[in-house]
Amino acid sequence: MIKISPSILSADFANLERDIHRIADADYVHVDVMDGVFVPNISIGIPVLKSIRKVTDMFLDVHLMITQPVRYVEEFCDAGADLVTVHVEADFPENIQAAIDKIHAKGKKAGIVLKPKTTWEAVLPYIDQVELILVMTVEPGFGGQKFMADQMPKVAAIRKLINERNPACELEVDGGVAPDTCQTCIDAGANVLVAGSAVYKAEDIPARIKELRGK
Ligand code: DX5
Ligand code: ZN
């Protein structure tokens, strides 16, 4: 079963509660946190996540696009994240490991994220420990960018590794996922699809979510 995680980066932040209730048919809510340093954009942070937690019981999939995420992961867990993902490029390996450990100590799921130029081998130190691996299919920072099909061999390589070493681990893709690209991601082995603009620009959001689950 393919899971859909709509990105609220494409929601109307002045009507966030309404826009979260609009995606009730989805599986997760994808929350993009950007610090203006790790990526060239600033989005939302801990206070907004706390407010989101108050208005929904949905699973909150929090994607941290921030430098040295180990500094903040516990606060994101306390604010209501169910899953916190950290970029492997965002700090030294020992600090990425510390971030994973802190998330787990809070009783939450931990994941790692790979930017497009980062190769699949980057997951090797963490594959046995994480609940999710996220492969970016755009350069992180903005919604509405073009899907990078050249990331599919990486998705397939990580799927193979997951099946061998940690079959419960989920494999998520993020960026440019739309009706014309979702099946490619599913065929490569992804089981969680993030979609921002493809969900929020749709006339019929429940129908679009169904469409994104593939054939
Ligand atoms: C990009 C974010 C994505 C983004 C996806 O840095 O991580 O989650 O919102 O948006 P779409 O689906 O429009 O590419
Ligand atoms: Zn994201």
Model ipTM value: 0.99
CB count in 10 Å sphere of residue 53: 16
- 25's tokens: 């048919």
pLDDT of residue 188: 98
Domain ranges of the chain: 3-212
- Ligand 1 within 6 A of CB of 197: yes
CB of 194 closer than 8 Å to CB of 172: yes
pLDDT of residue 13: 98
pTM over 0.80: yes
As a whole number, mean pLDDT of residues 66-89 equals 99
Q: Are strands 192-195 and 83-87 parallel, antiparallel or unpaired?
A: unpaired
- Residue 35 falls in the annotated catalytic set: no
Spell out where 47-150 has E strands. Answer: 59-65, 83-87, 109-114, 132-136
pLDDT of residue 168: 98
Sheet with 170-174: strands ordered across? 3-6, 192-195, 170-174, 132-136, 109-114, 83-87, 59-65, 28-34
From CA 178, how far away is CA 197, in angstroms rounded? Answer: 8
- How far away, in angstroms, is 139 Cα from ligand 1 center? 9
Q: Tens digit of pLDDT for each residue in 168-205?
A: 999 999 999 999 999 999 999 999 999 999 999 999 99
- 102's tokens: 């802190």
- Residue 82 falls in the annotated catalytic set: no
pLDDT of residue 48: 98
pLDDT of residue 19: 98
CA-based R_g, the chain, Å: 16
Q: Is 7 part of any known ligand binding site?
A: yes
| CATH no., domain 3-212 | 3.20.20.70
Residues in the chain: 215
Pocket test for ligand 1, best of 4, 5, 9 (most atoms within 8 A of CB): 9
Q: Is 144 part of any known ligand binding site?
A: yes
- How far away, in angstroms, is 163 Cα from ligand 1 center? 26
From CA 99, how far away is CA 119, in angstroms rounded? Answer: 21
Q: Tens digit of pLDDT for each residue in 27-64?
A: 999 999 999 999 999 999 999 999 999 999 999 999 99
- Ligand 1 within 6 A of CB of 129: no
CB count in 10 Å sphere of residue 129: 14
